[in-house]
Amino acid sequence: MNFIIIAVLGNISKKFLPENTGSTISFLIINFTLPMTIFIGISSSKIDISKLFFILIGFFGGLLIFFGGKLLISLLKIKDPNIETVMLLSFTGLNIGLFMYPLAEMLWGIESIKYFALYDFGNSFLTFGVGKSVAEGKGGKFNIKDLFKFPPFIALLLAFILNGINLPEVILSPMMLIKNANNFLIMFLVGFYFNIFSLKTHKKILSLSVLAKYSLGFIISLFTLLIPVDSSLERISLFLSPLMPSAMMVIVYSVKNKYDSELASSYVSLTTLISFIIVFSVTAIIGF
């Protein structure tokens, strides 16, 4: 409900706020609130390095979805490069942290976050590496050194290095203050660029890409059932992770690089709704 209220507020506000509002919010998210959210969310959860396969599945599963999306986009032969780029961006990584961390904590406790965080680490190479490359017109090719200049990835890396270390309150307190603004800014940005007409105008492209994205995700989820795990929590984390919505960075990249931000917001909103239904349906079916 909070998501809807803030998104509606963002949608209404675009009638009164300056045109560059979205760009300003995107800048704040990339450089401040998202890095703090990533750092605090992961550093505060005890990470088990023996579960390295979570990271590997997150990375290689993400690659499968990306190349599957790239094949689909080439077959669709989209003439508008702005729309083509947005659709390809929607296959570059998943929204695990912002979407699943709070849901996982609510459903299974804070202990469950660490498994999603490990998968998210592998996923981050797609979101912050391949996604950034696609947004800059490089087609997905990127130099890994570029990741170390990107605030969200730097935060992710530091969070793993400093995992389990209790930071002094004088440092943690302002970080928490910045982090707490992240969800509001992201939800506001979704609403600011959401346009129902984008869904109608591009319904064929959206329908096919959403179907492809979740079909590929489901294949990866089925594959994870073959992997031996130690607990039901690990099992459901592995199964659900490939079925997460498209990364919020799709919107941020689209705003920053002047692509079709309304289409990006509409796509992310649609996949968020679908993934929300999937999470609660799977949880209800398996009774966990």
pLDDT tens-digit map of 190-216: 788 877 777 777 888 899 999 999 999
- Counting Cα atoms < 13 Å in the Cβ hemisphere of 112 gives 21
- Percentage of the chain with pLDDT > 90? 31
Q: What are the φ and ψ backbone dihedral angles of 262, each rounded to 5 degrees?
A: -65, -40
Residue 142: the pLDDT is 66
Q: What pairs with residue 94 in β-bridges? A: 246
Instruction: Round to whole Å and give the CA distance between 215 and 198.
Output: 23
Residue 277, in any domain of the structure: yes
Residue 139: the pLDDT is 66
Q: Collapse the DSSP code of 94 into the 3-class scheme (helix H, G, I; strand E, B; otherwise coil) and give the result.
A: strand
Mean pLDDT score, 30-44: 83
Residue 117, in any domain of the structure: yes
Residue 223: the pLDDT is 95
Q: Could you give the residue ranges of the DSSP H alpha helices within the chain?
A: 2-13, 21-28, 34-43, 52-76, 81-89, 97-108, 113-124, 131-135, 144-147, 151-161, 169-179, 182-193, 196-201, 203-224, 232-240, 249-256, 261-286
Residue 62 has pLDDT above 70, yes or no: yes
Residue 1 has pLDDT above 70, yes or no: no
Residue 125, in any domain of the structure: yes
Residue 287: the pLDDT is 64
Residue 5, in any domain of the structure: no
Instruction: Round to whole Å and give the CA distance between 115 and 57.
Output: 12
Cα 74 → chain centroid: 23
Pick from 13, 80, 25: nearest CA to 255: 25
Residues with Cβ within 8 Å of 216's Cβ and at least 6 positions away in sequence, in order, are 64, 65, 68, 69, 242
> Domain span at residue 157?
21-283
Residue 255: the pLDDT is 87
Residue 224 has pLDDT above 90, yes or no: yes
Residue 247, in any domain of the structure: yes
Give the burial class of 18: count Cβ atoms within 10 A of its Cβ; 0-12 exposed, 13-18 middle, 19 or more buried: exposed
Q: Tokens standing for 213?
A: 């994205």
Residue 92: the pLDDT is 93
Q: Is-contact 248 98, C-beta < 8 A?
A: yes
| CATH code assigned at 245 | 1.20.1530.20
Q: Which residue has the higher pLDDT, 140 or 23?
A: 23
Residue 8, in any domain of the structure: no
Q: Tokens standing for 148?
A: 């170390």
Mean pLDDT score, 100-123: 81
Residue 15, in any domain of the structure: no
Residue 180 has pLDDT above 90, yes or no: no
Q: Tokens standing for 209?
A: 């890409």
Q: Of 113-117, 132-136, 260-264, where does mean pLDDT reach its minimum?
A: 113-117
Residue 116 has pLDDT above 70, yes or no: yes
How many domains does the chain fold into? 1
- Percentage of the chain with pLDDT > 70? 96
Instruction: Round to whole Å and give the CA distance between 58 and 60.
Output: 6
Residue 144 has pLDDT above 70, yes or no: yes
Residue 288, in any domain of the structure: no
Residue 266: the pLDDT is 86
Q: Which residue has the higher pLDDT, 98 or 269?
A: 269
Q: Is-contact 208 76, C-beta < 8 A?
A: yes
pLDDT tens profile 68-97: 999 999 898 888 888 899 999 999 999 887
